[in-house]
Structures are given as C-alpha cells and as structure tokens.
Structure 1
C-alpha cells in the first residue's frame, strides 16, 4: 500500500487500509462511551464532553495517566454536542490512547435543572464572561483548574475557536502545546468577510428581535423541535444525527442570546490577524482553510500563505463546508489525525 506525503511535510498519512479499519471499528462498536458533565467555570454554566480519561488531575502521576490531551475549542455556537462524532473518530484513530475533551463556551449550553446559567457566589468572577475576551479567559481558567501543567496539549480550534487558541498561546506561552490545529479559522476581518457583512447588522443591532420567537418555540415538545431541526437541515445528504440534539440547545433563549452576544463582539473585535503570535508559534500551528468559506475566504488563505510561506497552511479541496461538523466530522477527523501521526508517535 502506497503512502501519501503532504508536499510541505514529512508526516505520513493513514493508508486506505488503516482508514477502513478505523471506520469498521467505529461501525462495529457504535458510539464509544462518552461522558458529559456540566460544571461552573468562571461562575458560568459550562458543558464538557469527554472521550477517555475523565479526570486528569486525579490521574496525574499514575502509570496509566495520559501525558497528552486533545482539547477541542468550538466555534460559535460553542455547543460541544456538535463535535461528538468528530471527537469519537479522533479518539478511535489513536487506539483510545489519548483522551479527547471538548469544552463549551461559557453559557452555550442548557444546564440541568439544578444549575443556573451563572453561579450565585461571592467569589470573584469575570465582568463579562459571555463576551469574547471572557470566553478566552474562561478556557484558560478551565485549563488551569482541570488540566495539570505537565500534560501536553493538542489544541483543536474551529472557527472562532481558532482565535481563542491563538489568544491562549499568546497569554500563556509556557503552556505545553504540542500542536494547534486551526480548522476554518476566523482569526481576522470577520465583519469584512462575505458572511460577516450579512451577519453583522443582525448580531449587532437586530439580535434582540430573535429572542421572542425563540422563547415561544422553547415550549414545543422535544420531538417537534427535532423534526424542525431535521427539516431545516434536510438538504444535507449525510446529516450527523448527534447534531440534531445539539441544535435543540438553540431553542433555549439564554443559550442563543449568549451565542449571539459573543458573535456581536466577534464582528467588532476580530479585526487584524495576530501575526506576532503566529510567528512565535509557527512550528506548532496547522491552518486549514475552506475553498468556499464565506467566513474566511480564499483571499485570507492566500494572504496568510504569502506572509508565512514556511508555515503549515492548507486549503481544502474537498468541498467541506465551514460548519463541517454537520456532515463531515468523520472525514475531517481522519484527515486531521493523519497530520498528527508523526508528532504523537514520536512521544
């Protein structure tokens, strides 16, 4: 079986036989067991989805403890359920050796009945935890509280999650980051992008008008909500079913309001690309741009490729959409794990 090598890298990718084995295992095992937790982080309701080791703090120093953690930082809305299949394939691709976690954005979840969206406490809290800067601090607080400093990280960002990862790497340069994979990265000029021009007025001036219909829809039975989601996404030929239950979270006014508020700040604050942080961490970064992505158009890919000719910056030629988790989570996970084989197998 021939092996393919990326022209800008000496990483060896999965052979077709290895891909078939992974997919057959997934089909035979069904969904691997995952753990879903709701916690307060920065006093805000947060959902954490985990495949593999559930508590790195307690396991640190034990022989069976993993020295590597995959941490997924989602796009917006930052609902971790969208990434379930994507995470499952990553976990299986490395023979369940490394835990794979995803942490939601603060307030981008529907907490259980016994939890409020914000914790009532006298402890110091972020002034604006639901805003963009607050979400960066929220992820840093999560790492500090739940991940030992000696654990090596593979950070995987999607959309605005890529911006958050670059901010984390800038603010905490001693973090043990092996690689950061930035998928469909919205790291510059969001409001000037084709989709940004369309969404900026809605997010910045008209978002309050959306709250009343969402509130009314929230009273519908769950099965009706699920049917509505499937109807809205009916054009997708291979809709990932885990995304249906994830989308139902958006029938919560609080969850949607927090997502739209964060989005409004993205339009205003995500302006210039952080070239200094990219330059400082160039060897740790992998960028993956979409060929037809209206949030980060090909022009942005061409410009960053020009400015960083030695960086690992790739352009999708598979027609994968910006919201890849809806129908291509498995494909992107298999492709991404190919890129990471060498760095992880050398540990």
Structure 2
C-alpha cells in the first residue's frame, strides 16, 4: 500500500498534463479551426489577387489585332493595329515590299506581348498592295509611298502626346529614315529590320529583279500569270502555296499570299515600286543625316541577306559608329514575318531595343 501511495503522486501530475481539461480542448479546437479558416481564406484571397493580376496583365498584353480601312490623302489604306489603354509610346510599323500588313500579324501580336501591352502599335500598308483595287489600276512610286506615310502621321498621329517609334522592314527601313527627316522632334527612335538602304551591286538576285521590274512588258506578264491563280478557289490555293513555296510558312502568311498577291493590281504595284526603289537606292545612303541622328538609329542585319548585306553593316559602323547595330544569327531570313518563330524572335529583339532605349533615358 505504501508503494501504491507513493506512486499515485508521481502518476497524477503526469495524467494532469497528458489529459487536458475538456473545456481547454474545445477552446483549442475552436482556435485551431478559426486560425486554419483564416489562413485558408487569406491564402485563397492572395491566390485570387495573383490570378486577377495575372489575368489583367495577360489581357493587357494580348489585345486582339484590329484591321481597318482609312483614306490617307485620297488613297484607301489597310491598317492593322493594337491600341493600348494608356500607352507609354506609339509604334508605327512600315512594311517592306510587298507592303501587305497582314503578313506581319504574328509579328505585331508578338511585339505587343513583349512590350507588355504598354505601346499602341500601328502597321500601315503600302498604297494599292491591297485585296481590292481601290485606286483603279494606278501605280505608286517609292516617293509616293513615302509621302503617303508622312500624310498618315499628319492625319492620325499629329495629336499623339507619347513618343513615336518607327520600325521598318526592308525598304520600310528606308521609308522610316525619310519619315524621321520630316518628324525629327516627334520620332525618338527608328529601328530598321534587315534594311534595304542601297543597291547591292554584288547580288545576282537583285540584278534579275531589277531587270524584271524595269520592263513594263515583263512586269505586266508576271503580274498576269500570278493573278491567274485567282481562278483557283481558296481551298485549292492554300495547299498549293503551302506545298510549293511556303512549306514552313505560317497560316497567316499563306492566307495573305492568297488574298493579296493573287491580285493583278497588287503585283503591278509591287514591281513598279521595286523599279523606283532601284532607281532611288542606286546612290549611297545619306551618311551625314545618319551621323546626325545615329543616337536615334538601330539596325538588325541577317547573315545571308542580299537586301541588307553585311558589307552595309560594316559601312554603317564606320560612317555612323554609335548607331546600334545587331546581327541575327538564329537562322531566320529576310522574310522573318513568314514564320511564327521568325516573327517572335524579331519582335523580342525590337522590344528589347525599345526597353533598353527608354531605360537609358529615364
């Protein structure tokens, strides 16, 4: 009994601590439930806030491309654009030749995303490089195409308060430089992609294209032959283009070829514009102008591009040494816009150039 009596005191404290009172257990359970519920609610609220923020950013960066027609100095013009709610700058994209804006839809969409939806982007087509012959067969020279873009800025961008950035592809780079002459105060940056700024006397392809474009008979014949493909319905034309000249091209490009380049008036204007390009670009670039504006200029060259050869890259680096120059080595071509991968890579490059430019001046 004594032993038992001695054991009880040693067991009782142990029992008291190991078996809590019923009331305490209930309070702890309630506290645990409340705390867990509050934590779950907080986590859910944080998760919801993050999802809402991410959704808003995605919606901001993935705005749909809008196509519209507008008259610029009397000429019907195809416009492709993405408008930002509160843009920090305005991008005006000038296409090459052919100057069909729908060729660049993948590029414009990618550029909008890489710029985080912070820019309004407008791509303006060349006159009469359109699905319909709005100009009744009239042919437009390079200078008329330049004047057309200048008139567009005066008509639609004159009141824009944010800085304007020009992005041009091929001959669009040359047009962008001419626009910069007219609007040196409004335009803060000019990016040329695979730029065609002067004739490449070493290029056999350019020589052949020049001879074709210079002959009105050959140009008309070539345009007629290409336009005769309009006899094919769209369901037959698309696979023909895809399987012949555009095996790796995007659906957007194939569609643009079928809707625009099978038009006689478009092909005639493509070749007529090319003829006037060859005449105008027989001279060297205006190096003095480029030196005066080299802080505003950036160019992207390709490895094997006869329109913008690497000897032009070297010449610019000598004549205007502080110009931002880059070489694309990823295997994309002068016609980068014809593939989704090419469009995305070049769009990311342009966005990086723009972001670096603006961060340097903040």
Output the TM-score relative to the length of structure 2.
Answer: 0.76
Q: What does the per-residue CA deviation read over 1:203-228, in whole Å, with 9 as the maximum and x for residues that have no partner?
A: 11121211322332223211222122
The 4+ residue runs of structure 1 with deviation greater than 4 A are 28-32
Structure 1 pair 29–337 and aligned structure 2 pair: CA distance change class (3 A): closer
SS at 1:38's partner residue?
Answer: strand
20, 36, 42: which one aligns with 2:67: 36
Counterpart CA distance in 1 for 2:72 and 2:146 is 12
1:106 offset after TM fit, Å? 0.8
1:273 aligns with 2:285: yes
- Counterpart in 2 of 1:344? 358
1:254 offset after TM fit, Å? 0.8
Contact 1:90–1:337 (8 Å) recurs in 2? yes
Counterpart CA distance in 2 for 1:192 and 1:255 is 28
SS at 2:192's partner residue?
Answer: strand
- Counterpart in 1 of 2:327? 315
Counterpart CA distance in 2 for 1:146 and 1:195 is 38
1:144 aligns with 2:154: yes
- Counterpart in 2 of 1:96? 117
- Counterpart in 2 of 1:117? 134
Structure 1 pair 147–85 and aligned structure 2 pair: CA distance change class (3 A): same
1:147 offset after TM fit, Å? 0.8
Gaps in structure 2 of 5+ consecutive residues = 1-53
Structure 1 pair 253–234 and aligned structure 2 pair: CA distance change class (3 A): closer
Counterpart CA distance in 2 for 1:178 and 1:193 is 33
184, 187, 192: which one aligns with 2:197: 187
- Counterpart in 2 of 1:52? 83
Gaps in structure 1 of 5+ consecutive residues = 1-21, 54-63, 120-127
- Counterpart in 1 of 2:35? none
Output the TM-score relative to the length of structure 1.
Answer: 0.79
Q: What does the per-residue CA deviation read over 1:178-210, in whole Å, with 9 as the maximum and x for residues that have no partner?
A: 211101110112565443112111111121211
Q: What does the per-residue CA deviation read over 1:90-146, in whole Å, with 9 as the maximum and x for residues that have no partner?
A: 1112221211110001111113xxxx5228xxxxxxxx8711000000000011101
Contact 1:43–1:118 (8 Å) recurs in 2? no
The alignment's C-alpha RMSD in Å is 2.5
Counterpart CA distance in 2 for 1:200 and 1:88 is 33
SS at 1:322's partner residue?
Answer: coil
* Higher normalized contact order (CA 8 Å, seq sep 6+, divided by chain length): 1
1:333 aligns with 2:344: no
237, 251, 254: which one aligns with 1:241: 251
Pair member with larger Rg = 2
Correspondences of 1:288-299 after superposition (within 5 Å): 288-299=300-311
Structure with the larger helix share: 2
Aligned residues: 299
Counterpart CA distance in 1 for 2:306 and 2:357 is 32
